[in-house]
Structure 1
Amino acid sequence: MNPFTRIQCNPNNGSHDQDLLGDVIPEENRSTFIGNVVSLSELGAIVSPIIAGALMKQFSINTPFYYNLILVLIAMVIQFVIRFKSKSIRKRPIA
């Protein structure tokens, strides 16, 4: 099997993304959570170039790189914490 092909979701075994969300977020809050994530992503796509332009104008052309590096490190820490919590509360194996 080609490692770059996406595995099709089977209704019998579910989606792996939903398994992670199902372990971390209660079902009644799941759609709200996904909506918030999409909204923040779109907001970031709009605001990020404005912030980068202001940083380049005020300081130097390298400043947005360091700004984004800090944001990526924060996102990695948040993702690590969420994955660690989901592994500790997972009661069923993911197929």
Structure 2
Amino acid sequence: MNGFAWGAFAIGLGWAAAAALAVMLATFAVAVRKGMHRVVDVAWGLGFAAVAVVTCVGAAAAGQGDPGRRTLVAALTVAWGLRLAAHIARR
């Protein structure tokens, strides 16, 4: 084949999906408790940040990718996700 690590990809995809699901379930619980479903919009940015952190940590644990590039991409994605969440929360 082409040397692509399909097993590591599938594991990372599972962890990323679990992180996104955890953020959305926590947000759903808060929305139901407060009776305000607009808080779900804020969670999308937080979900991106959570997925970035989980995939960065998972890739580091598996020894995949360049460490500097992996950290830079994760940091920029987290910064963007937090900025998005803050922007939507202020609206």
TM-score interval, smaller chain = 0.3 to 0.5
Query: TM-score, length-normalised on structure 2?
Result: 0.36
Larger Rg: 1
Higher RCO (C-alpha 8 Å, min separation 6):
1
Which is richer in helix?
2
- Give the TM-score normalised by structure 1: 0.35
